[in-house]
Each structure stands twice: as C-alpha cells, then as structure tokens.
Amino acid sequence: MSPVEIGAFSVAAIVALVYIGVYIPIALGLVSFISIWLISGKAILAFNFLKIAVGDGVAEYEFATIPLFTVMGLLVSRAGLGTDIYTVMNRGFRRITGGIGMATVGANAVFAAVTGSSIASASVFTKISVPEMLKLNYNPRFAVGVVAGSSVLGMIIPPSAMLIIYSFVAEQSVGEMFIAGIVPGLILTIAYIAGILLAGRFWPSFLGSGRSAGEDVALSYYELLEKTVPIVSLIVIVLGGIYTGWLTPVEAGAAGALAALVIAVLRRRMSWKSLWFTAIETGHITASILFLITMASLYSRMLGYAGLPNELDTLLQTYDLGFMEIMIIYVALMLFLGTLLDTASIILIVVPLFITLIESMGLSLVWFGIVTVIGAEIGLLTPPLGISCFVIKATLNNPKISLKDVFMGAFPFAVIMLIVLVFLINYPILSTGLLN
C-alpha cells in the first residue's frame, strides 16, 4: 500500500474505532502510530513522532486557557448563576407566546459566555427550564427541544473548548477565535428566538398550549441587579478583556476564574469541600482534553507524513470544483459524521484533511473554524449519537418523555443551525469583521 492509501485507511479506521466505543485519544494515537510505522517501515520513527507530539502537543502557553475556563465554568454552575439568568430572561419574555422558550435560549446564550460547555448548559437548563415549561402545559417535545437546541450555543459563544481545540489543529490564535465566535453566536441566538416566535404563529401545535408565566416571575429592581450584575461582570472581564486587548485569553481565564470563585464564596455556595471537588473535576476535564490534543497532534503529523491533505487538494482541483461545491462536500461530510461521532472527533479528524485546501484557496482559517464548529455542533442534535439529547434525557429522568421525543424536539433547531451555517459560509465577514 502507498502512503496515501495507508493515510486514507487510517482515517476510516479511526472513525470505526470511535464509533464502536474506543476512547477517542486512544483511537487517534494507536492508528496514527501504526500508520507511521507502516509507511516508514521503522518503529523508531513512529516513536519519534510520538515523542514530538507528547513534548510539543500541549506546550503552547495558550493551552493554559483550558483549566482556567474549565474551573470558571464549574464555579459559575455552583454559584447558581444559570438559575439567575434564566429567571431574568423569563421575566423579559413572559408575555410573549413561547416566551419561556425564548428565555431559555437567551439564558443559554449568556450562560455560554461564561462556561463554554454545551453539556453543562444542557444539564443545567434541563433541570431549570423543562419542568417549568411542562408545568405551563407546553409541548414536551418543544420543552426538551429548545433546551437541546440552545445548549449548542456553549460551543460557539466564547469561551469555547471546541474553539480552543480548533485553534490547536489549525494553529490559530485562541483570542482571535474567541472574538470571531461572538457575532455568529449572537446570530444563532437571534435565529432561535425568531424561530420560536414564528412557530408560535404558524406552528402552534409544536409549542403546545403553554400559557404565560404571568406575574409570578416579576422581579424587584434590587433582585434584578442581584441576579444580573455577577454574570454581566464575568462577561465584561473575560470577553471585554480579550476584545480590548487588555488581557490575553490566559489572563482573561485566570481573572474570570478568580471572579467566579469570589462570587461563589459571597453567595455562600462554596465550601472547602466543594472547592476540592471542583479542583478535582477541573483536573479530570483538563487531563482528558490535553490528552486528546496530544494524540490529535500525532494524527495531524501522520496525515502530513502520508501526504493525504495534499492528495485531497489535488483530487478536488482535478474536478475543478468551485468554492460552494467544496463547502457543500465539507458540510455534508460533517453532517454525516455528526450522526456517528462527537464534535471534538469531527474537528480532529476532518480539519487536518481540508486545511491545506482552504489555505491554498486564500480563505480565512478563522472563518473556517467558525464554520467547522457550527457544522460539527449540529451533530449534537442528530441521532444516533446526539450527545446533548442523551444528556437531556438522562438528566430529566422522566419516563413520559422518550429519547425520540428529545430528538424530534431538537430537529427544528438543527435545521435553524444549518440555515445559519449556510448564511455564515456566504458572508465570511460576519465571522471575521470584529478582527479587522
């Protein structure tokens, strides 16, 4: 077999291993190591590639953002800020048809800006929002679907673990990726709210016979400040610091983590015991992400050694495909893999294959990253994997709502994501405008 054939076979092997349940970093590392050995015929070269990947893979200073933003997100959850922002949003939308769904989307968007985790958002708002909507006679499918759909905002609105992982794979600035994610995240949020508003008018059966939350959610001026100032302060510290250039992403993560700790302590939500458990959980999450990045480094080096990205570039140019044709192929591939793999796997497997082609076309790799993350995130809402849907089902623990109900409820939001993705592909300035 030629190096290119071995490289192509290795990609298929990784997808197959991940799908049958092999831990992603193990699949990436094992297949990449064996592929390098087969291509070179020398085991020592495979070990040298592994040594370089382990030594250099997570040595970048900006990867310090991973534990810092992780601990900040955990502290924010423990401080109860998710409940607070939901209460505030619910007050603002309470008189609109489907308003509680819009409140969930808005709260998820704000929560995403300080946690960066779709899974955390899905878990938190399943406990907060779904029971409230069911109590108000909303369609159960809409109740779980709006939580599933809006939970993906955690992976596009910065800080985002997926944007950090893409930054590593594409060798882009974490700070620039964070800034680039702001406008697309807001567009997706607005699109979700508009979709709920239109559904209330033209597809009321999807929303159900839900009634207004009424005056019981009204807040005094003092309560409004109490619930909004902490989370707004965190957003200003983190995103404001990065956007103005006053803080690097690492410094913003550290400042945000400290501020979140202070808020949790002042609210009496943090004891020494819970702080210890938070530190342990941060360590587990950080170790798993860095291990993933290390093995992804080995995988990328293997693909380059096999010459597969250049071969793919040549193949697509042979057919004289234009920009839109290539993007259709790319998005279709991500949507297909999204039915099988999680977001990180899709990014790590697909991006190294296409990045040479994107660079040769003179396209922005920052814009390409936003397109990639949103395209891969659609997979969180599609069967059979649909991680966010599984998290919602497990967290809700309601036998009357099946996994099928969650997927059916999330489907309209997946369609909205796809429409927004097409919009962002056609107008790259929406992703890169804040960088100019």
**Mean pLDDT of the chain, nearest integer:** 83
Phi, psi dihedral angles at 138 (to 5 degrees): -75, 155
What is the rounded CA–CA span in Å between residue 428 and residue 126?
33
Whether pLDDT at 82 is above 80: no
Whether pLDDT at 365 is above 90: yes
Whether pLDDT at 397 is above 90: no
How far is the CA of 299 from the CAs of 71, 136, 294, 296, 343, in angstroms? 28, 50, 9, 5, 17
Listed residue (233, 234, 242) closest to 174, CA to CA: 242
Q: Which pLDDT tens digit goes with each residue over 256-314?
A: 899 989 988 888 888 888 889 989 988 888 888 788 878 877 887 888 888 877 777 77
Q: Which pLDDT tens digit goes with each residue over 36-53?
A: 898 888 888 888 888 877
Residue burial 47-82, b: 16+ Cβ < 10 Å; e: rest: eebbeebbeebbeeebbbbbbbbbbbbbbbbbbbbb
Where is pLDDT greater, at 405 or 113? Answer: 405
Q: Which pLDDT tens digit goes with each residue over 50-74?
A: 887 777 666 677 778 888 888 888 8
pLDDT for the residue numbered 184: 93
Phi, psi dihedral angles at 189 (to 5 degrees): -60, -50
Q: Which pLDDT tens digit goes with each residue over 87-109?
A: 777 776 777 777 888 888 888 88
Residue 176 contacts residue 435 (beta carbons within 8 Å): yes
What is the rounded CA–CA span in Å between residue 55 and residue 51?
6
Domain containing 114 equals 3-435
Q: Which pLDDT tens digit goes with each residue over 317-340?
A: 777 778 888 888 899 888 888 777
Residue 130 contacts residue 162 (beta carbons within 8 Å): no
pLDDT for the residue numbered 223: 73
Residue 382 contacts residue 338 (beta carbons within 8 Å): yes
What is the rounded CA–CA span in Å between residue 116 and residue 72?
10
**How many domains does the chain contain in total?**
1
Q: Which pLDDT tens digit goes with each residue over 189-207?
A: 999 999 998 988 888 888 8
pLDDT for the residue numbered 245: 81
- Give the least confident one: 116-120, 164-168, 182-186, 408-412: 116-120
What average pLDDT does range 143-147 have in this prediction? Answer: 89
pLDDT for the residue numbered 156: 86
Task: DSSP letter for 138, please.
Answer: B
pLDDT for the residue numbered 371: 94
Q: At what angle do helices 140-151 and 182-202 cross, to 10 degrees?
A: 170
∠ CA(48), CA(50), CA(54), 5° rounding? Answer: 120
